[in-house]
């Protein structure tokens, strides 16, 4: 029996951040406003995924994500086999919305089979490294924050840079001195440099 997509729902939610995240030329974030995407299959399995709108990066907003899912993708997918996501490709752009919908379907299919999402996707790694975003801020505060997340098990840092290249280099060098090879560090200068 073919499992079909019975329903697709979106819910906008707000999640306050533990601290302020600064990046780019002047961007500041105190909370995230994302879209929860739920896909219910004909056998009752429920899959969930998150769509993070980033208008300055991906060009998608909470409104555009919920609208494209509700008015275009849901009508194309409801009643179809959950294994057939070809209608997603009929719609141009909207990668965040389509990606979240795809992941929610995959999660639902895994639930339907009674297996983990990792097994459903054929993953072989037992563990996945978590990357933590270290925003632009005061030097000592940034080092303390990095130490805190390191103690919590984080081993990859994405360090926001781009406002002051000399300060950026000093921050990266200080992090390298603090953690040596125990922490992978990479810089992210989105919205800062022009080519």
Same domain, 168 and 94: no
Same domain, 155 and 77: no
Whether 76 is covered by a domain: the verdict is yes
Same domain, 71 and 113: yes
> Which residues form the domain of 145?
131-188
Flag whether pLDDT at 26 surpasses 70: no
- What mean pLDDT do residues 75-99 have? 95
Whether 139 is covered by a domain: the verdict is yes
Same domain, 116 and 135: no
pLDDT above 90 coverage of the chain, percent: 70
173 contact partners, CB below 8 Å, separation of at least 6? none
Same domain, 68 and 139: no
Q: Which pLDDT score is estimated for 35?
A: 98
- What mean pLDDT do residues 127-147 have? 89
Give the residue, 133 or 125, on which the prediction is more confident: 133
Same domain, 142 and 182: yes
Q: Both tokens of residue 77?
A: 């997918």
Confidence of residue 126 (pLDDT cuts 50, 70, 90): confident
Same domain, 9 and 73: yes
Q: In the listed set 98, 121, 144, which residue is the last one of a domain according to the structure?
A: 121
Same domain, 112 and 179: no
Q: In the listed set 87, 121, 155, which residue is the last one of a domain according to the structure?
A: 121
Same domain, 108 and 140: no
Confidence of residue 56 (pLDDT cuts 50, 70, 90): confident
Confidence of residue 60 (pLDDT cuts 50, 70, 90): very high
pLDDT above 70 coverage of the chain, percent: 96
Q: Which pLDDT score is estimated for 169?
A: 92
Q: Both tokens of residue 131?
A: 């990357």
């Amino acid at each position: 029996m073919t499992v079909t997509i019975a329903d697709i729902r979106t819910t906008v939610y707000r999640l306050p951040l533990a601290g302020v995240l600064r990046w780019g030329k002047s961007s500041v974030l105190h909370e995230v406003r994302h879209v929860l995407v739920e896909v219910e299959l004909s056998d009752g399995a429920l899959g969930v995924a998150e769509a993070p709108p980033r208008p300055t990066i991906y060009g998608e907003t909470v409104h555009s994500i919920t609208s494209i899912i509700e008015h275009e993708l849901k009508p194309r997918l409801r009643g179809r086999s959950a294994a057939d996501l070809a209608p997603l490709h009929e719609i141009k752009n909207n990668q965040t919305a389509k990606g979240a919908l795809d992941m929610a379907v995959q999660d639902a299919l895994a639930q339907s089979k009674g297996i983990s999402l990792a097994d459903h996707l054929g993953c072989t790694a037992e563990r996945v490294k978590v990357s933590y975003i270290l925003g632009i801020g005061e030097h000592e505060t940034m080092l303390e924050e990095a130490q805190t997340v390191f103690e919590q098990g984080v081993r990859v840092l994405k360090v926001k840079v781009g406002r002051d290249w000399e300060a950026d280099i000093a921050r990266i060098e200080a992090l390298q001195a603090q953690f040596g090879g125990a922490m992978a560090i990479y810089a992210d200068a989105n919205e800062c440099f022009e080519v």
